[in-house]
């Protein structure tokens, strides 16, 4: 049962990353490719029917943790108290930015909430990536199974490390670039004209960032966990994940270059 519930939680988190990832990406590029208020309205409408529904996967994962792994839930929510509060506020700011921009038909009002929406999306992607970095790096559990980390200490990976260090920042940047590419491919699929061209340009530029940062993160992970490659020898079926990742990267590049935006988005 523990393995079953672990797989269920992992599936929910993966679905959140895949489904909410592209609308986070749209938020990241919102002020970059949306040159006018009407273009930014098109971007909002592109994710309008799905952005709040996609976040249900995150809520479901948190609820499942609560009753399936209560000690993990208690430990992680107390140890990551500050960043979780920051993530909560950023999630609220994204929602408020989307909803409030329509309340008053004033260019300055809409521009302000567009900036809030984009700023919250950028920080949220980096913080979620840093959270993943902490899981990969490990946290200082005590004998009772609890821990606490400050936001940062020396930015080095030491026994008294903080939530932000050089490794978790790299993973945060991997997440940021990946979601940027994901959102750009989504907009390229949903729009046409100049907006589509700009989205394709961002997708192609961010693809190189994804590739370089992913290679860098693999090297960094090998530095932190020198025995990590032993897992692939002990469990050969696990090789499907890195292989699928690099095949997908190749697909994103090929399909985006050839203008097949839907296939680039799926990749």
DSSP letters spanning 56-107: HHHHHHHHHHHHHSHHHHHHHHHHTHHHHHHHHHHHHHHHHHHHHTTTS--H
Give pLDDT tens digits for 98-144: 989 888 888 899 999 999 999 999 999 999 999 899 988 888 888 88
Q: CA torsion 206→210→216→218, rounded to 10°? A: 180
Each residue's pLDDT, cut to its tens digit, for the chain (267 residues) gives: 889 999 999 999 999 988 888 989 999 999 999 988 889 999 999 998 888 888 889 889 989 989 899 988 889 888 888 888 999 999 999 999 998 988 888 889 999 999 999 999 999 999 999 989 998 888 888 888 888 888 888 888 877 788 889 999 999 999 999 999 999 999 999 999 999 999 999 999 999 999 999 999 999 999 988 888 888 889 999 999 989 999 999 999 999 999 999 999 999
- Domains identified in the chain, total number: 1
d(CA 95, CA 150): 28
Q: What percent of the chain has pLDDT over 70?
A: 100
Helices 70-79 and 56-68 cross at an angle (nearest 10°) of 120
DSSP letters spanning 112-131: HHHHHHHHHHHHHHHHHHHH
Integer angstrom CA distances of residue 117 from 26, 114, 128, 190, 233? 10, 5, 16, 20, 44
Q: CA torsion 166→171→175→177, rounded to 10°? A: 60
Domain ranges, residue 177: 2-266
């Amino acid at each position: 049962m523990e393995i079953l519930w672990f797989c269920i939680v992992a599936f929910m988190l993966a679905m959140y990353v895949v489904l909410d990832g592209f609308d986070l990406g749209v938020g990241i590029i919102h002020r970059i490719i949306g040159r006018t208020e009407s273009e930014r309205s098109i971007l909002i409408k592109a994710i309008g029917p799905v952005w709040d529904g996609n976040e249900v996967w995150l809520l479901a994962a948190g609820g499942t943790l609560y009753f399936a792994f209560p000690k993990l839930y208690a430990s992680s929510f107390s140890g990551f108290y500050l960043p979780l509060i920051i993530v909560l506020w950023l999630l609220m700011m994204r929602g408020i930015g989307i909803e409030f921009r329509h309340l008053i038909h004033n260019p300055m009002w809409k521009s302000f909430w567009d900036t809030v929406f984009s700023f919250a999306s950028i920080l949220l992607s980096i913080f979620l990536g840093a959270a993943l970095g902490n899981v990969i790096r490990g946290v200082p559990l005590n004998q009772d199974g609890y821990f606490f980390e400050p936001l940062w200490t020396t930015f080095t990976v030491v026994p008294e490390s903080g939530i932000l260090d050089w490794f978790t920042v790299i993973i945060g940047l991997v997440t940021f670039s990946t979601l940027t590419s994901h959102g750009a491919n989504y907009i390229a699929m949903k729009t046409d004209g100049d907006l589509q061209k700009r989205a394709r340009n961002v997708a192609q530029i961010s693809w190189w960032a994804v590739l370089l940062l992913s290679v860098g993160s693999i090297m960094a992970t090998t530095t932190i966990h020198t025995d990590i490659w032993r897992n692939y020898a002990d469990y050969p079926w696990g090789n499907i994940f890195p292989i699928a990742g690099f095949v997908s990267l190749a697909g994103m590049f090929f399909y985006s270059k050839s203008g097949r935006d839907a296939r680039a988005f799926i990749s």
